[in-house]
Chains A and B, each alone.
Chain A
Amino acid sequence: MLLIPCPWCGPRDEAEFRYGGQAGVAHPQDPWALDDRAWADYLFVRDNPEGWFAERWFHTSGCRRWCHVLRDTVDNRIAASGPATTQAPDPGTGRGGGRADPSSPATAPTTPGRRA
């Protein structure tokens, strides 16, 4: 069971959230400039890492706002979260999006990054 640190409500059970997949996927500025393959990539292809993943969650049963979460898809550790209006956390550096819980010691791993 995930304990997801909502930036506004604090740590809450995953059952309060809906999942939004990869964070930071921007709608193409000019969709008409994309060929079919590029458009299909935008629609259907997302990162699927075994390791740190910047993703979006919607706090359905709470504040009803979107947030970014940096989570390890192998062991479900969560290193950071922040409002979806901010820069998504970087799976390579773990920076951005704010700390999961500023009052506790850093839970971020010392060397976030992809697992071999």
Chain B
Amino acid sequence: MTGDAPLWRRREPEAGYDVVIVGSGGHGLATAYYLAREHGIRDVAVLERGWLAGGNMARNTAIIRSNYLWDASAGIYEHALGLWEGLEEELGRPVLLSQRGVLNLAHTTHDVRESVRRVNANRLNGIDAEWLDPEEVKKLVPIIDITPALRYPVLGATYQPRAGIAKHDLVAWAFAAAADALGVHLIEDCEVTGFQRRGDRVVGVETGRGPIAAGRVALCAAGHTSVLTDRLGLRLPLQSHPLQALVTQLLEPVIDTVVMSNTVHVYVSQADKGELVLGAGIDAYNGYGRRGSFATIEHQVAAAVALFPVFEHAELLRTWGGIVDVTPDASPIIGRTPYEGLYLNCGWGTGGFKATPGAGHVFADTIANDRPHPLAEPFGLDRFAAGALVDEHGAAAVAH
């Protein structure tokens, strides 16, 4: 219990800061924390147009894993997972990290080949990964249907035992409290409406509460990043889409791991309280409405009930949507921009939550030193012109 004491102080914006971070989701808060903790930059403001961690940080399915194919992705996601494993000790607050394992199901011959390849790639990168046959899947997930009669039968799964879930609100609050304790200003209800420039240098932001000067401006605005950069005439390879999740009524414990399927588009875990938490793919069309299509829900529920017949009895409790920023190669953009003093952390698509501490850590380092952190370097904006894409559509686990 944390008692009645507020976790962070309410602040009025000051005239200027060394660093202004736009967006107080997990990434913005983690970036602020590591700027203060690792780089001694404590004159930092995190500006939030709504309320703290009320965007995608409150709308994700809380899954954490690092089983990506390419070395660049393995580097940054495994860096994040390592930080997750020490996060409660680091921040001094519970985040309910539960390393209950994640399975990614294979349903076709192609899935099997791709999955085994990814397991091998993971192991070469020192990431825990196993290939499970259907019987081994059934042992871990007794409620799953592995009979060949399914339209998309379970042919096996990749398994990362160290993966799992964490309680997203607690993660945000722990970073917020720790950043606040180091002197970071967390300012809610303060929408950034534009940028102050001197030539090609960004020197501050315009906000609903007046101008704020900044030595450096760092964007952590997820699905709304390109809305912000449009105001500078900076076009980014980002498309924003609604991504939905849903929870069922509370059930007895029926599943104690995380099961994902890219082929039939559903992923599920069971919250500590008992709700089944289910997600699916993005809606195909661009959107900012924070609600998605019923067709997507229908599709994912059909897939879930086919795989787990016992789910047929569950009542749907609520659905919600967040706005995710998707890049052409399903990998994030981290680094500098053509504007001096302006830094990007965006394009995490459907997978930003799992990266939270790692993204904050390497982004803070990138900002503090005005050069990409080695783990961030492959994720620069210039990779699209250079052709050095980090194509992670297969390991993104959700159709982008």
Cβ–Cβ contact B386 & A14, under 8 A: no
Cβ–Cβ contact A14 & B293, under 8 A: yes
Cβ–Cβ contact A36 & B386, under 8 A: yes
**Would A1 and B294 be within 8 Å (CB), given that A44-B384, A45-B237, A50-B227 are in contact?**
yes
Q: Which residue of A lies closest to B295 (CB)?
A: A15
> B385 within 8 Å of A by Cβ?
yes
Cβ–Cβ contact A73 & B288, under 8 A: yes
> B328 within 8 Å of A by Cβ?
yes
> A9 within 8 Å of B by Cβ?
no
Cβ–Cβ contact B295 & A43, under 8 A: no
> B284 within 8 Å of A by Cβ?
yes
Q: Is the interface of A mostly helix, strand, loop or mixed?
A: mixed
Q: How far is the CB of A19 from chain B (nearest CB, A)?
A: 4
> A53 within 8 Å of B by Cβ?
yes
Q: Which residue of B lies closest to A37 (CB)?
A: B385
> B239 within 8 Å of A by Cβ?
yes
A-B Cβ contacts below 8 A, count: 67
Cβ–Cβ contact A48 & B286, under 8 A: yes
Q: Which residues of A contact B285 (CB under 8 A)?
A: 2, 14, 19, 55, 71
Choose from A14, A36, A74, A116 the contact partner of B289 (Cβ within 8 Å). A74
> Once the chains are docked, how many angstroms separate the CA of A76 from the CA of B284?
13
> Once the chains are docked, how many angstroms separate the CA of A46 from the CA of B285?
13
Q: Which residues of B contact A71 (CB under 8 A)?
A: 285
Cβ–Cβ contact A18 & B284, under 8 A: yes
Q: Which residue of A lies closest to B284 (CB)?
A: A19
Choose from B193, B240, B284, B294 the contact partner of A48 (Cβ within 8 Å). B240
Q: How far is the CB of B37 from chain A (nearest CB, A)?
A: 34
> Once the chains are docked, how many angstroms separate the CA of A19 from the CA of B240?
14
> B251 within 8 Å of A by Cβ?
no
Q: Which residues of A contact B294 (CB under 8 A)?
A: 1
Cβ–Cβ contact B237 & A73, under 8 A: no
- From 72 to 99 in chain A, residues with beta carbon under 8 angstroms from any chain B beta carbon are 73-76
Interface string of A12-56 (1 = CB under 8 A from B): 011100110100000000000000110111011111111001010
Q: Which residues of B contact A43 (CB under 8 A)?
A: 328, 384
> B115 within 8 Å of A by Cβ?
no
Cβ–Cβ contact A75 & B239, under 8 A: no
Choose from B238, B240, B384 the contact partner of A40 (Cβ within 8 Å). B384
**Which residues of A approach B to under 8 Å, CB–CB?**
1-2, 13-15, 18-19, 21, 36-37, 39-41, 43-50, 53, 55, 71, 73-76, 116
Q: Can you list 13 residue pairs at the A/B interface with Cβ under 8 Å?
A: A1-B293, A2-B293, A36-B385, A40-B387, A44-B237, A45-B235, A45-B384, A50-B288, A73-B286, A74-B287, A74-B288, A75-B289, A116-B193
Given contacts A45-B236, A55-B286, 14 further A-B contacts (CB under 8 A): A1-B294, A14-B293, A15-B293, A36-B385, A45-B237, A47-B235, A48-B238, A49-B227, A50-B224, A50-B288, A73-B287, A73-B288, A74-B288, A76-B289
**Which residues of B approach A to under 8 Å, CB–CB?**
193, 224, 226-227, 230, 235-240, 284-289, 293-295, 328, 384-387
